[in-house]
Amino acid sequence: MTARRRIILPDVSSSSGEVPVEGENLRYLRDVLRTKTGAVVEVLDGRGNVFEGVVESVGRRSLSVRIEGRVVRETESPLTLYLIQPLLKGEKMDLVVQKTTELGVKGIFPVITANSVVKKTRRLEHWRKVAGEAVRQSGRTVIPLIPGILSLEEVLEGLPSEAIKIVFHRDGKGKLNEIAGTVKGKQLPVYCLTGPEGGLSDDEVRAAVSAGFRPVSLGKRILRAETASLAAVTLIQFLLGDL
């Protein structure tokens, strides 16, 4: 696939006609990619729809794109995979959001756990932006959902009972390929929980197990929290998604 010029405009539709591109998108198209009049641009709504547009004019404050029609981009994983991610320190959280978006998660639930080093943050909008940028560059069409920060307990309570739930824990006895074998083809959503830097507490692992999570190990080595999340998402996409 050749690199395409892609921007996200949540309100775009096939009847948009000429749309103004401003702010961050303008800087990206005009100043970073040096887009000129006549260039073809892909405009995503971030919910799976992609439109092709042509740059009509490039100005100081705005650039104008005429929407020509819808295009089909089948880059989304068929798997509905959500990562439940305890808050990690600054850059690590960004890394997890960026990489797991590239790997195709449909949502990331930032949660507070007992051993979380970070308890509070104002970075929700920042993570949503990181996810949007990862969508744009990876060729995905859906921006992962990143809801507001909740406690792990609150998230566990709110999950549907009809789902595959996996908690990654060093002593986990579950076998990922066996879980995959029993659920393959059922199209259930998958919820994946990993711990923060300080690990999940025994109580939290117990709470997850009583909420239907199966504990699975990622081997005998202790992985850093961010490594665990990336490995977990990769393995689940491999066994149940489209890798």
**Interaction of residue 166 with ligand SAH, rule CB under 6 A:** no
Max intra-chain CA distance, the chain? 60
Among 19, 112, 134, 225, binds ligand SAH (CB under 6 A): 225
Residue with tokens 């939290």: 204
> Residue 195 Cβ, how far from ligand SAH at the closest point, in Å?
2
Which residue stretch of 35-43, 47-55, 88-96, 214-222 sits at the interface with ligand SAH (rule: CB under 6 A)?
Answer: 214-222
- For residue 86, the Cα-to-chain-centroid distance in whole angstroms is 15
**SS3 track for 118-169:** CCCCCCHHHHHHHHHHHHHHHCCCECCECCCCEEHHHHHHHCCCCCEEEEEC
**Interaction of residue 217 with ligand SAH, rule CB under 6 A:** yes
Best CA proximity match to 152, nearest among 124, 123, 175, 119: 119
**Interaction of residue 200 with ligand SAH, rule CB under 6 A:** yes
**Interaction of residue 218 with ligand SAH, rule CB under 6 A:** yes
Which residue stretch of 25-33, 55-63, 70-78, 218-226 sits at the interface with ligand SAH (rule: CB under 6 A)?
Answer: 218-226
Among 71, 117, 145, 222, binds ligand SAH (CB under 6 A): 222
Q: Which residue is nearest to ligand SAH, using beta carbons? A: 195
Q: How is the beta sheet containing 81-86 ordered, strand by strand?
A: 150-151, 107-112, 81-86, 190-193, 164-168, 214-216
**Interaction of residue 198 with ligand SAH, rule CB under 6 A:** yes
**Interaction of residue 168 with ligand SAH, rule CB under 6 A:** yes
Best CA proximity match to 232, nearest among 223, 4, 19, 47: 223
Among 73, 128, 129, 170, binds ligand SAH (CB under 6 A): 170
Residues forming the site for ligand SAH (CB under 6 A): 168-170, 172, 194-195, 198-200, 217-219, 221-223, 225, 228
